[in-house]
Amino acid sequence: MDKQSLSSISMKGAPACAGCHMLVARYAPQVVASTGTYHRECFEAWYVGRYGKRPSLLAAKGGHRHAFRVRESNEVREGGEVGERAA
């Protein structure tokens, strides 16, 4: 709840994927990153394309069993392409 984007996402219930901009179903496999919520497939595809390796995904704290978070690194935080914020 420390970010504006998080509160708007929780109110909608189904956030838009930051990768493909389609809604992420509540219990679909998904990755919650600092830059937004992604379908797991979208996140992995983007990550592999950008870094040439698969992301290390961890279970998201407080999330359901299909929610993951990426092990944060400087690389991910610098990812300008996915850093765009929903206005």
What part of residues 9-28 is at the interface with Zn ion (CB under 5 A)? 17, 19-20
What part of residues 46-65 is at the interface with Zn ion (CB under 5 A)? none
Q: Taking contact as CB under 5 A, which single stretch among the options 35-43, 46-54, 59-67, 75-83 is the one that binds Zn ion?
A: 35-43
What is the closest distance, in whole angstroms, from the C-beta atom of residue 19 to Zn ion in the complex? 4
Alpha-carbon distance of 87 to 78, in angstroms, equals: 20
Alpha-carbon distance of 31 to 50, in angstroms, equals: 16
CA distances from 69 to 60, 62, 65, 87 (A): 5, 11, 11, 23
| Residues within the interface to Zn ion (CB under 5 A) | 17, 19-20, 39, 42
